[in-house]
Amino acid sequence: MDRNELISMLETKAKKLRRGVIVSIGVGLAGHVGGSCSSADIVSALYFYKMHYDPKNPKMKDRDRFLLSKGHVAILQYTALAEAGFFPYEELAHTKEIGSMLQGHPDVQKTPGIEAGTGSLGQGLSIALGMSLGMKLDRIENRKVYVLIGDGELDEGQNWEAAMACAAHKADNLCAIVDRNRLQATGKIVERFPIEPIDKKFEAFGWNVIEIDGHNMGEIIDALDKSDSVKDKPTVIIANTIKGKGISFAENVVSFHNGILSEEQYQQALKELS
Amino acid sequence: MTYTNQRLAYGNTLVALGKENDRIVVLDADLAASTMGKLFEAAFPERHFEMGIAEANMTSTAAGLAQMGFIPFTNSFAVFAAGRSYDQIRQTIAIGCLNVKICGSSAGLSDFGDGSTHQAVEDIAIMRAIPNMTVVCPADAIETEKITRAIASVQGPCYIRICRNDMENITSEDDPFVLGKPSLLKDGSDYVIFATGVMCSVALKAAESIKNHSVRVVNVSTIKPLDRAAVIEFVRDMKGVVCAEEHSIIGGLGSAIAEALRRECKPIEFVGIEDKFGCSGHNYPELLAHYGLTEEHIIEAIESFERI
């Protein structure tokens, strides 16, 4: 597959992931539309280009690991896992049902392919560091831990404890990706609780920083590849995104952080993502 | 070697475990010199992680190591291990039933000089309420060694609570130890004392010195899961039950025993800390006495049953 074909394939997958998110949420129940759609291209690139794993053997030792620190967009990861073959696509329709393997937030005990229990924000990077240290102890080379963090989530202080610790432990097998969609649950980050400059903060903490357009598939895969050659320090990819990307009425709309779709909106979203 | 300090017993047992099992790893938060994590650090520098003064991150990092198949022990003072890291324990360790061992060192009032900020009087209650969590509190240094080994060998999250100060051993190397089983320290026929941690030796002294009553003493070093059937058996034919712990009377051993005995219709008294924070003292015994954790208080609790 040449580069253009690869990019086209990943873009198609990303669209499919967004569609899966909408199908999982359905009509009349709240779901995290906005943050799922902003992260979809990144997750597509990770699951269908970058990461090494075996859906038939989810615990395979020699695998890359993906942690969703922004655990509220679990439905996006579930869709990716289904698309990758970890479980049947039909399971998505049972998301959040009592007894379902697909909980509102990622659960390591219930869902194949889920690597960490997240949802209480700001903890994924720390868990990723533990995996990074474990991989080094086990001499697992050429494998990585990827952790996707929301920009609003960076309010949580534990991220910065972890950022220090990742640098102190030279976690060069760890790559964090910040989905910088610039909105948090109650409004624009810049108005509610300003956190910029994210890049300079990570730089000051000793990280390799790459900034990209998080909806430009070429830039995403290049950034992921570039992080492989960095030694002795962790990498953070700051991905500039649009919350709700791909669904016209949800783009940049705060209320679709955890929004409810009407029947009409549901149909329109599926149409736009077809 | 026989230790008379739980921290030393714990730290040396970690080293012994580290020799036997290369999956054991230890994390400290700038307190390795106190938690005795430093012993493991000296023996296995590759498998010891200094995590800085950042307990929340340390605890979730341990979750990641457990997910890689390691058996991480996280060390800190109990106030930080159980308090500051509560959410990390709940969210990233206990929900997933991950194999992380959390050591609450300098628990209870044992960090006597540092005062309320450093004295965990509610850690058992917090840890006990978390599903999947095992909660242990050894009676002495000898039992600390056995309990540390035991929690390393079971799958799932465990919280071990140990004392800062030297103490006498009341168990012996030869006593059998089974995780989850309360053990008889002294038999008696009128009253039973359930004790945990340092209060086991205090309870023994009370039982030996009390006049006119025959008192049984039971060491409950596994507070959760509590062997309810064994607890019920220990109170059979007893006139009353005393629970003794260096912890708030809310949510600790006494609460656990009361829950176990909810259908037994026995009077129960609690010798513990009465819904108060700790405070600084010049020495440990002085502070225990200040909070009513003495032989005399246990005797008074038993004698109070006679006045009913």
A30-45, pLDDT tens digit by residue?
999 999 999 999 999 9
Instruction: Give the domain range for residue B24.
Output: 6-161
- End-to-end Cα, chain A, rounded Å: 23
Would you state the torsion angle of the CA atoms of residues A162, A53, A68, A211, taken in this order, to the nearest 10 degrees? 70
The string of pLDDT tens digits covering residues A2-23 is 999 999 999 999 999 999 999 9
Calculate the average pLDDT of chain A: 97
Q: What is the DSSP letter of A220?
A: H
**What residue of A is the nearest CA neighbor of B85?**
A158
pLDDT score, position B308: 75
SS3 B125: helix
Contact assessment for residue B6 and residue B145, using Cβ atoms and an 8 Å cutoff: no
CB-CB under 8 Å, A133 with B57: no
CATH number of the domain bearing residue A93: 3.40.50.970
Count chain A–chain B contacts defined by CB atoms under 8 A. 109
Clarify whether residues B75 and B121 are in a common domain: yes
pLDDT score, position A46: 98
**Which residues 53-82 of chain B have a CB within 8 Å of chain A?**
54, 56-70, 72
3-state helix, strand, coil in chain A (%, to 5): 45, 15, 40
d(CA B299, CA B213): 10
Considering only the beta carbons, identify the residue of B57, B90, B96 that sits closest to A161: B57
Peptide bond into A197 cis (omega under 30): yes
Q: What is the DSSP letter of A209?
A: E
Clarify whether residues B124 and B210 are in a common domain: no
Clarify whether residues B113 and B210 are in a common domain: no
CB-CB under 8 Å, B63 with A126: yes
Active-site option among B55, B122, B143, B145: B55
CB-CB under 8 Å, B60 with A108: no
Flag whether residue B98 sits within 8 Å of chain A, measured between CB atoms.
Answer: yes
Given pLDDT bands bounded at 50, 70 and 90, which one contains residue A155?
Answer: very high
pLDDT score, position B1: 80
Residues in chain A closer than 8 A to B86 (CB atoms): none
Q: What is the DSSP letter of B166?
A: B
CATH number of the domain bearing residue B94: 3.40.50.970
**Which residues 88-147 of chain A have a CB within 8 Å of chain B?**
107-109, 115-120, 123, 126-135, 137-138, 145
ipTM for the predicted complex: 0.96
Clarify whether residues B97 and B204 are in a common domain: no
CB-CB under 8 Å, A165 with B67: no
CA distance A102 to chain B (A): 14
Q: Which residue's structure tokens are 């430093």? A: B38
**Which residues 171-210 of chain A have a CB within 8 Å of chain B?**
none
Q: Which residues contact B250 (CB under 8 A, 6 or more apart)?
A: B122, B125, B275
CB-CB under 8 Å, B91 with A116: no
Q: Which residue's structure tokens are 């259908």? A: B263
Peptide bond into B285 cis (omega under 30): no
B174 lies in some domain: no
Q: Beta-carbon neighbour count of residue A234 at 10 Å?
A: 30
Clarify whether residues B38 and B154 are in a common domain: yes
Clarify whether residues B16 and B142 are in a common domain: yes
Q: Which residues contact B110 (CB under 8 A, 6 or more apart)?
A: B119, B163, B164, B165, B198, B246, B284
Q: How many structural domains does chain B have? A: 2
Q: How many structural domains does chain A have? A: 1
Average pLDDT of the residues in A61-67: 97
B55 is catalytic: yes
CB-CB under 8 Å, B56 with A157: yes
CB-CB under 8 Å, A161 with B54: yes
Share of chain A above pLDDT 70, in %: 100
Per-residue pLDDT of chain B (308 residues; tens, 9 = 90+): 899 999 999 999 999 999 999 999 999 999 999 999 999 999 999 999 999 999 999 999 999 999 999 999 999 999 999 999 999 999 999 999 999 999 999 999 999 999 999 999 999 999 999 999 999 999 999 999 999 999 999 999 999 999 999 999 999 999 999 999 999 999 999 999 999 999 999 999 999 999 999 999 999 999 999 999 999 999 999 999 999 999 999 999 999 999 999 999 999 999 999 999 999 999 999 999 999 999 999 999 999 999 87
d(CA B202, CA B297): 10
Instruction: Give the domain range for residue A190.
Output: 3-272
Clarify whether residues B208 and B282 are in a common domain: yes
SS3 B63: helix
Clarify whether residues B19 and B155 are in a common domain: yes
Clarify whether residues B136 and B269 are in a common domain: no
Taking CB atoms within 8 Å and a gap of at least 24, the contacts of A186-190 are A186/A254, A187/A254, A188/A254, A189/A151, A189/A152
d(CA B263, CA B253): 17
Average pLDDT of the residues in A185-214: 96
B99 lies in some domain: yes
Clarify whether residues B242 and B210 are in a common domain: yes
